[in-house]
Structure 1
Amino acid sequence: MSSQPGEPATPRAADPNGSWRAVIDIGTNSVLLLIARWHGRDLEIALDQATITRLGKGVAATGVLAPESIARTLAVLRQYRETAAQYGATPMAVTTEGVRLANNRDDFLRPAAEVLGAPVRLLSGAEEAELSYRSVAQELGSAEALRVLDIGGGSTELAVGEGERLISSVSHPIGAVRLYERFVAHDPPEPSEVAAIEIEALETFQRGQPLEPYPILTGLAGTVTTAAAMLRELPAYDREEVDCKAFPYVQVRDLRDRAAQVTAAERCRIWPALDPARADVIVAGLTILVAAMKHCGAQVLSVRDRGLRYALIERG
């Protein structure tokens, strides 16, 4: 079961065995709630919901989480705690780059802990990359080579491994919101602005791990799954219609180019599955994706609607 970002989910009755588990991933751009339980190696998903609150708006430039961004995010956390309670679950919450960058992080972490009834765990970049990788690797059950890209609002993680064995990972200080705020001043963006984002992304990736070309890059998170919904021209976001789908590099690049030529409002009309709250930053996110595929020598993008929240749902 999944829901369009921002839409309230229809709860099901609390599990009498109390086996439902809830994880909240508080990102720079969106807040995600996963409620699920394990049956052996199979994960049953009750709810996978995303709401864009843009907690990290402006934080890369100012070093401060804005009061209005904190208030929006706390309101969603209250809603998520109530939803989790209807499944008999107490949520575990983690947060990432947007809060890592903030000098006033306690202004968010303290009230968030009060709302949720437990502290919010601030992940390091290394932990974020490892968890993103594990979210895919633990499901595959093979020792095949795997490269996992997680594009967030404030950072982008690139991890390399074989099956469940993580070989290397880097958390890069680039993200869809971060580069949009830094480089884009027009709607639609000027070609020079898009070029500047791609150059910054490529140079940042190249300062990380040197990689031999590999044909497949597995992508996670909102930019990638939204790209898949746009490429498939879905009328609304549908997890089942994007998960495990693959797209050649040229289609991803052409989508970025087409999206960059129209305004945010026009993008929503052309691609109805694009959340209006993501429409302004999607070109920056797609440009990071294009740069990552170039850096990895990837010919194909494999899309997974997963993420670190899946790795944090521990087996019972």
Structure 2
Amino acid sequence: MPDPGLFAAIDLGSNSFHMLVARREHGELRVIDRLKDMIRLAGGVDDQGHLNAETHHKALASLARFGQRIADIPRHQVRAVGTQAFRQLDNLHGFLVVAETALGCPIDIISGREEARLVYLGVCQATPDPGRRLVIDIGGGSTELVIGEGPEPLAAESIPFGCVGMMQHLFADGRLTRKRWKQARQLVQTELLDIEKTYRELGWQQAIGSSGTLRALESMSASQSGEASRSFAQSDIEQLRELILKAGHVDALDLPGLSVRRRPVIAGGMVIIEAIMQHFDIESLAISPHALREGVLHDLLGRLSEQDPRLRSIEAMALRYQCDRDQAERVRDWAMQAAEQITGDSALHRTQLEYLDWSARLHELGLAIAHDRHHLHGAYIVKHADLPGFSHQEQQFMATLIGCHRGKLDPSLIEQQAPRHQQALRLLIAALRLAVTVCRARRDADLPDFGLALNDRTLTLRMPSGWLESHPLTMQGLLQEKRQLGKLGFDLELRDLPKHQMPTDQTQT
């Protein structure tokens, strides 16, 4: 039986898979279990995005083990995120089907900037607030750099080099030469040029590193100095670099503090952090015990409370694009009521209704560009924007809702979604299209009570007797919707609302 006090965060990184299981006690989370598997997913992905069979097998075996551990945790209290290596897969949807089956819960694919935000959130849980800070996280496939103050990041960027990716790119044969090291450092510093001006202007009082790579470097540095300080200096990295270059090959690395599992990728991580510290004149880097998975865990708690970062993102976007708030709320209220009537308590998950809520708030977003095809403009913005708190799949889901809220329906847009979401998406699109049609006059006084029922494929919309006849524009719109909703597999019928369901002022004579 599910234990309502348990929560789990799963970080499916390009190098390692991690899981935290925590129990909420007295309003706080206490970690009670950790799991880690070194998969090196990024190392199994070629230039065309193909995942080799060995890595595929290792990943699924790890996910099955994780799945057993979370079997007694309520599904809405588990969140799994995939990062850079997942984003590179050519057949991502196909892999997600088998991966989610093995794990037993959905896997959210997050952008580099969202990964950076979550890393920062995780580090904030462990590090006393020193003022403005720069957080650096070196993963297997990318490196995140975040400047923040307090709990919120001010700038978050991701560069496409991680410890595994760098080893593949310049040290694939295992040889460690000074020439290659210089080339690798220059590659990283070239990427940093794009963010240098913004980051230097923002500034920071403390630089903090997270991730297993940086903790390994701290351990190696401590072994050299004989002192454990939870930090290392630029000079420490330079000393370790010389030891690595002296070894000459990955297989010859045998340094105190370096584990056998970390040995194949440590050089890639070291050259990245050396490049960053040199480029930004960072003399010393403090090391945090927390990283992405802790950020995912605390973000999950926010999603389940009134502090959901996704709602803040929706409100900010609506304000930025000057959406008509009154009309958005009018459409949202009608659509939400319609969806609840046709789905009952179990057909749609609570989060899917949230997507309808948020999509309705943004459905006129594209008007900021042009009225013509504004639904498609809005869909493009939502799909490609940086929306803190959202995964790629969530943004695609909402973009499809917004792109299908008016005009001719293209069923292929729905078929591009994961199969498990397609029926829910059809229902939500139907609710949103009907809401937009009925609310077209943009006046609350024009909106009567209504009833909406779904029986097999028949959608029956009931309005007060005579109301449609006195609102010919709405009648015309609903008749047009009958044709479009047919593409979703629904047959729309218009009926009178029974008198006993009508409000008092409409039934009195």
Name the TM-score class by shorter chain. 0.7 to 0.9
Q: Deviations over 1:8-45 (max 9, x none)?
A: xxxxxx9x964221111111111111112344575422
Choose which of 36, 48, 57 in structure 2 pairs with 1:62: 48
Choose which of 288, 291, 294 in structure 1 pairs with 2:272: 288
Within 5 Å, give how 1:28-177 maps onto structure 2.
28-39=14-25, 42-59=28-45, 61-85=47-71, 88=73, 91-140=78-127, 142=129, 144-177=131-164
**Within 2, Cα distance between the matches of 1:98 and 1:50?**
17
1:201 aligns with 2:180: no
Q: Is the 8 A contact 1:155 1:174 kept in 2?
A: yes
Paired amino acid for 2:113? A
Q: Identity of counterpart residues, as a percentage?
A: 27
Query: 1:252 matched to which residue of 2?
Result: 237
**Within 2, Cα distance between the matches of 1:216 and 1:292?**
14
**TM-score, normalised by the number of residues in structure 1:** 0.83
1:21 aligns with 2:21: no
Query: 1:313 matched to which residue of 2?
Result: 297
**Within 2, Cα distance between the matches of 1:228 and 1:73?**
28
Q: Deviations over 1:224-272 (max 9, x none)?
A: 01111222239xxxxxx97x812221112222331232233443x433x
Higher relative contact order at CA 8 Å, sep ≥6: structure 1 or structure 2?
A: 1
Paired amino acid for 1:161? G
**Within 1, Cα distance between the matches of 2:181 and 2:242?**
9
Within 5 Å, give how 1:214-225 maps onto structure 2.
214=204, 216-225=206-215
Q: Is the 8 A contact 1:56 1:154 kept in 2?
A: yes
Query: 1:6 matched to which residue of 2?
Result: none
**Within 2, Cα distance between the matches of 1:63 and 1:17?**
39
Inter-CA distance 118–49: structure 2 relative to 1 (3 Å threshold): closer
Question: Which stretches in structure 1 are left out of the alignment for 5+ residues?
Answer: 1-13, 235-240
Paired amino acid for 1:283? A
Q: Is the 8 A contact 1:188 1:261 kept in 2?
A: no
Choose which of 280, 299, 303 in structure 1 pairs with 2:283: 299
- RMSD value over aligned CA atoms? 2.6
Question: Which stretches in structure 2 are left out of the alignment for 5+ residues?
Answer: 305-509
**Within 1, Cα distance between the matches of 2:7 and 2:184?**
38
Paired amino acid for 1:222? G
Deviation at 1:143, TM superposition (A): 6.4
- Rg (Cα) greater in structure: 2
Inter-CA distance 252–39: structure 2 relative to 1 (3 Å threshold): farther
**TM-score, normalised by the number of residues in structure 2:** 0.53
Larger displacement relative to structure 2 (249-258 or 279-288): 249-258
**Within 2, Cα distance between the matches of 1:182 and 1:257?**
21
**Within 2, Cα distance between the matches of 1:231 and 1:185?**
25
Inter-CA distance 250–74: structure 2 relative to 1 (3 Å threshold): same
Higher helix share: 2
Inter-CA distance 38–230: structure 2 relative to 1 (3 Å threshold): farther
Inter-CA distance 154–291: structure 2 relative to 1 (3 Å threshold): same
Q: Is the 8 A contact 1:215 1:300 kept in 2?
A: no
Choose which of 220, 226, 233 in structure 1 pairs with 2:223: 233
**Within 1, Cα distance between the matches of 2:17 and 2:55?**
12
Paired amino acid for 2:293? R
Query: 1:10 matched to which residue of 2?
Result: none
Q: Is the 8 A contact 2:125 2:290 kept in 1?
A: no
Deviation at 1:127, TM superposition (A): 0.6
Q: Deviations over 1:132-185 (max 9, x none)?
A: 111112444636111111111111110001111211011111111111111114
Deviation at 1:296, TM superposition (A): 2.5
**Within 2, Cα distance between the matches of 1:162 and 1:284?**
29
Deviation at 1:88, TM superposition (A): 4.6
Q: Is the 8 A contact 1:146 1:162 kept in 2?
A: yes
Q: Secondary structure at the match of 2:263?
A: coil
Higher strand share: 1
Deviation at 1:312, TM superposition (A): 1.6
1:178 aligns with 2:165: yes
